[in-house]
Amino acid sequence: MRKNFKEQSWVFPMPVFILGTYNEIGTANAMTAAWAGIYDTNKVFVSLSSHKTTDNFKRTGAFTVSFATKEYAKECDYVGIVSGNKVPDKVARAGLTPVKSEFVNAPYFDELNVALECEVSKIIEDEDGIKLIGDIINVSADESVLTNGKIDTEKLEPLSFDPANNRYYTINEYVADAFKVGIELRNK
């Protein structure tokens, strides 16, 4: 027997993006976004309602996407439940340290070890909200999360979001090599 839940945005896992932008006065803002993903090889998309962040990237034309991590789950949740419109110093209150991207006009956060540094490519705004598409100009990663020069998710411990239960998980158990484990069946 299956239970039908009708219309739900349940995709597992969803990412936990921390969007970094600059406020009008040059201070940093951060917000959490899970309705998001890769749009094309070098593009990300985020589905948004109106926030301080949306005003910011419309003005600056840039944003960063850091991956929320197990170590900073509390801080990453906080920036998703408090708006920069009401708490302008929310980044400082979260204890996150903004660092100016070398590539785009937006900050990433020192505590979050991997960031996509993006320029706004397209903003689609209609009655369903705001769809942001960004060009990934650079990916930066702290050396502490690299193994053999590549980003090691076991070291990074990125969070994923479970929308059915509103929970964060990590998903680091290695299972098999992608594009390889199925070869055995293809060759049968």
Ligand X SMILES: Cc1cc2nc3c(=O)[nH]c(=O)nc-3n(C[C@H](O)[C@H](O)[C@H](O)COP(=O)(O)O)c2cc1C
Q: Is 9 in the site for ligand X (CB under 6 A)?
A: no
Interface residue with ligand X among 20, 22, 28, 34 (CB under 6 A) is 34
Q: Is 158 in the site for ligand X (CB under 6 A)?
A: no
Distance CA 137, CA 120 (A): 10
Distance CA 43, CA 61 (A): 14
Size of the site for ligand X (CB under 6 A): 21
Question: What's the closest the beta carbon of residue 53 comes to ligand X, in angstroms?
Answer: 3
Interface residue with ligand X among 33, 62, 106, 145 (CB under 6 A) is 33
Per-residue interface string for the shown chain with ligand X, residues 111-150, x marking contact by CB under 6 A: ----------------------------------------
Own/partner contacts of 10-13, CB < 8 Å, gap of 24 or more, are 10/163, 10/164, 11/163, 12/160, 12/162, 12/163, 12/164, 13/160, 13/161, 13/162, 13/169, 13/171
Q: Is 80 in the site for ligand X (CB under 6 A)?
A: yes
* Residue 72 or 161 having the CB closest to ligand X: 161
Task: Provide the phi-psi class of 83: left if phi over 0, else alpha when psi is between -120 and 50, else beta.
Answer: beta
* Residue 61 or 152 having the CB closest to ligand X: 61
Judge contact between 30 and 97, C-beta under 8 A.
no
Q: Is 64 in the site for ligand X (CB under 6 A)?
A: no
Judge contact between 84 and 90, C-beta under 8 A.
yes
Contact positions toward ligand X, by CB under 6 A?
29, 31-36, 47-49, 51-53, 77, 80-85, 161
